[in-house]
A and B are shown apart, each in its own frame.
Chain A
């Protein structure tokens, strides 16, 4: 087990995420899927854009407070800007096409027991792991 294994903080963070998703469901009746919310801000539906923009604002607010309290909790991928841009486009395009990301399918969909979210989650987990394996162990020969 690597020294970076942090099950307690991971579980605690997961609980906060679950509470946040539950709050949004109980209050607004909406799913806390970040890619869906980004899509909603880009293609507004009447009555939805306000809370969606506020949700994204809340994410950034957490980042402002978190960066002040614990800058070590943040990192930037060690990639050239062009590769970061490519990664961003793939993540944005893929989550839009597939109807969700780690939060929408991975947390909310699985909590509902939706088979399509299980298929989506397994698919992006496995492809991401394959990409990491190729980049780290094949390409770099480690």
Chain B
């Protein structure tokens, strides 16, 4: 198999495994997610254990992967985003939190639940894609403005 083919296969297997994890852990039940977020009610702390399990394994995996100079099927590891903590990060995360608290769906589980969630699931995922596209508008505007000002200067 070509290296590019291997990358696609690894994406498929990783996605399927990730999805299986979301199902087993209970993340594809929005009522359970809301039970975790409902700290004033009958709080169900289960989903904290999802984070603990995932982070423990992945932190260990990342540490072991440091010994590799490069990933097995691509030229280099992706570079972490700049460590900026700014309004964009906080406001974006807060907006996400509002949406998550309304429905109990975050991106991964909503896509895994697509085959089982009927029209409601489809409407959510379509809106998720729309919101993601809208979210890049500020960046595109900024780069447009930059283009225009550099065009004016030249």
Contacts and interface: CB of A to CB of B under 8 A. Distances in A.
Interface in A39-97: 39, 42-43, 47, 50-67, 70-71, 73-79, 81, 83-97
Contact of B111 (A47, A56, A73): A56
Contacts of B132: 35, 38-39, 42, 92-93, 95-96
Contact of A50 (B4, B31, B58, B72): B4
Interface string B63-87: 0010010111111111011011100
Nearest to A137: B40
Nearest to A60: B114
A119 B124 contact: no
Main secondary structure on A side of the interface with B: helix
Contacts of B90: 98, 119-120, 123
A125 B3 CA distance: 39
Interface residues of A, number: 114
Contacts of A108: 58
Contacts of A12: 24-25, 53
Nearest to B88: A97
A71 B134 contact: no
A24 B14 contact: yes
A94 to B, nearest CB: 3
